[in-house]
């Protein structure tokens, strides 16, 4: 919620006091919070309480605070990235459904085209009243999100549907207003960079991977609303923000970290260049220079992706095939052997493709043989294409 501008409208219900906690939580999560109250709401909670919690002046009257806001309802509507109305009374619902503008709150709502979340709270009979239900239907049909009231004891002494949901649930619903991407609510694991296999404490066997492609995929998945874990070997770029970053060295460590979360993710995009071999007995001390030939005995590394292919349940699996010849043939073979949904193949020797550069020339090969050939494009643009396809396959799985 960092730097999101949230405008909270508080109307005159007893549950107004609970919205103090909502404002506080949103503020703590990094949002800029402004509160506007109806006259009746100020009978339940003092504007000063919201002012102290949010650090911002609270607006009540259309013409009250002319020094700060020349045209208050327009200024407040422009400030908001989203508007929350909580608690929303039956009176507010009726006015908002019909576009009435008889106070600051309703006028601001009409002046705004931003996402609107409404949390009704009232006596059960008032909530169930056909007029209220019809007003809710109208508001929903115009795109407003309505948070269902909770059931329990009500201020009027009865029990039933009509309680304002808990502050934590209201805040989660506000956050959800911003998670509109194709991967929202999905967990994606991306691997990037090259693994490092120790020869001794100083030297290692590595490869030319820069981690650019994997980091762009991770960034694109974050932008699509996913919860992303990026497990990276050696990378030359800064990992993107807003994800869980796990740094590893060897293929063995990468395998361990991948297997720890594999069961919990919806897709794995394995773009890391994982070394196929490691040194059998890395030296504990720096190997000294000699005139003799140096023999390193190499043993096979685990093939992480192949293992995931045998373990996979509903996870979407995407592999990469960085080749120097017979690209499509080799890629197709790997697609089948590793039980992948699709594989991204590229000739790393082609100009503008492969390691270190910011562009790539790739093909996507699907199970069943369909091939998509892409022209040279930025790794960022290719990442978007890959992530779009992952979202489509996840969607098909339901």
Which residues have a catalytic role annotated? 156
Enter the tokens of residue 269: 């995009």
**Rounded Cα distance, 136 and 140, in Å:** 6
Q: Contact letters (x/-) for ligand C5P, 146-185, by CB under 6 A?
A: ----------------------------------------
**Residue environment code for 246-267, b if the CB has 16+ CB neighbours within 10 A, otherwise e:** bebebbebbbebbeeebeebbb
Give the footprint of ligand C5P on residues 199-258 (CB under 6 A): 251
Query: Whole-angstrom Cα distance, residue 384 to residue 382?
Result: 5
Candidates 200, 223, 236, 303: give the one binding ligand C5P (CB under 6 A).
303
| Size of residue set near ligand C5P by CB under 6 A | 13
Q: Phi first, then psi: give them for residue 319, nearest 5 degrees.
A: -115, 170
332 forms part of the interface with ligand C5P (CB under 6 A): no
- State the minimum distance, in angstroms, from the CB of residue 52 to ligand C5P: 53
Q: Which is nearer to ligand C5P, 169 or 276 (CB)?
A: 276
Q: Contact between 364 and ligand C5P (CB under 6 A)?
A: no
Nearer to ligand C5P, 108 or 346 (CB): 346
Among 4, 18, 25, 334, binds ligand C5P (CB under 6 A): 334
Cβ distance to ligand C5P smaller for residue 25 or 338: 338
Among 104, 304, 335, 391, binds ligand C5P (CB under 6 A): 304
Residue selected from 222, 265, 270, 353 as contacting ligand C5P according to rule CB under 6 A:
270
Residue 236's SS3 state is coil
In the bound state with ligand C5P, the residue whose beta carbon lies nearer, of 224 and 340, is 340
Query: Which residues neighbour 207 within 8 Å (Cβ) at sequence distance 6 or greater?
Result: 194, 195, 273, 275, 355
Q: Which of residues 308-327 bind ligand C5P (CB under 6 A)?
A: 319-321
Contact 11, 96 (CB under 8 A): no
Query: Does position 272 bind ligand C5P by CB under 6 A?
Result: yes
Nearer to ligand C5P, 236 or 276 (CB): 276
DSSP 143: T
CB of 303 to ligand C5P, least distance (A): 4
Going by C-alpha positions, the residue among 220, 311, 204 that lies closest to residue 253 is 204
Nearest 5°: CA angle at 15, between 93 and 125? 55
Q: Is 301 in the site for ligand C5P (CB under 6 A)?
A: yes
How many CA atoms within 13 Å lie on the side-chain side of 134?
6
Pairing of strands 5-10, 82-88: parallel
- If one asks whether residue 305 binds ligand C5P (CB under 6 A), the answer comes out as yes
Query: How far out from the chain centre does Cα 15 lie?
Result: 31
Binding region for ligand C5P (CB under 6 A): 251, 270, 272, 274, 276, 301, 303-305, 319-321, 334
């Amino acid at each position: 919620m960092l730097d999101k501008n949230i405008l909270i409208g508080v109307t005159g219900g007893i549950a107004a006091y609970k919205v103090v906690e909502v404002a506080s939580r949103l503020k703590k999560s990094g949002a800029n919070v402004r509160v506007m109250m109806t006259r009746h709401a100020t009978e339940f909670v003092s504007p000063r309480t919201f002012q102290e919690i949010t650090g911002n002046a609270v607006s009540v009257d259309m013409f009250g605070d002319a020094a700060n806001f020349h045209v208050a309802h327009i200024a407040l509507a422009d400030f908001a990235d989203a508007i929350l109305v909580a608690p929303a009374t039956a009176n507010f619902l009726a006015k908002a459904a019909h576009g009435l503008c008889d106070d600051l709150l309703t006028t601001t709502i009409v002046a705004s085209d931003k996402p609107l979340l409404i949390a009704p709270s009232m006596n059960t009979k008032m909530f169930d009243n056909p007029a209220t239900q019809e007003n809710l239907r109208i508001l929903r049909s115009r795109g407003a999100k309505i948070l269902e009231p909770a059931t329990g004891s009500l201020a009027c002494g009865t029990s039933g549907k009509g309680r304002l949901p808990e502050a934590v649930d209201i805040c989660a619903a506000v956050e959800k207003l911003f998670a509109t991407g194709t991967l929202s609510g999905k967990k994606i694991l991306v691997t990037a960079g090259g693994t490092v296999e120790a020869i001794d404490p100083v030297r290692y066997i590595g490869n030319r991977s820069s981690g650019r492609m994997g980091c762009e995929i991770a960034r694109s998945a974050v932008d699509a609303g996913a919860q992303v874990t990026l497990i990276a070997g050696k990378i030359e770029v800064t990992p993107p923000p807003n994800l869980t970053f796990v740094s590893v060295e060897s293929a063995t460590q990468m395998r361990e970290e991948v297997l720890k979360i594999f069961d919990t993710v919806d897709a794995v995009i394995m773009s890391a260049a994982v070394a196929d071999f490691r040194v059998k007995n890395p030296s504990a001390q720096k190997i000294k220079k000699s005139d003799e030939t140096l023999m390193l005995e190499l043993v096979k590394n685990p093939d992480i992706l192949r293992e995931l292919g045998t373990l996979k349940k509903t996870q979407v699996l995407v592999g990469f095939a960085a080749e120097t010849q017979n690209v499509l043939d080799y890629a197709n073979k790997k697609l089948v052997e590793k039980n992948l949904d699709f594989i991204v193949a590229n000739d790393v020797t082609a100009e503008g493709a492969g390691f270190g550069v910011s562009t790539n020339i790739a093909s996507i090969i699907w199970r069943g043989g369909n091939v998509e050939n892409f022209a040279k494009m930025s790794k960022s643009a290719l990442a978007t294409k890959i992530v779009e396809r992952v979202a489509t396959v996840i969607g098909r799985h339901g």
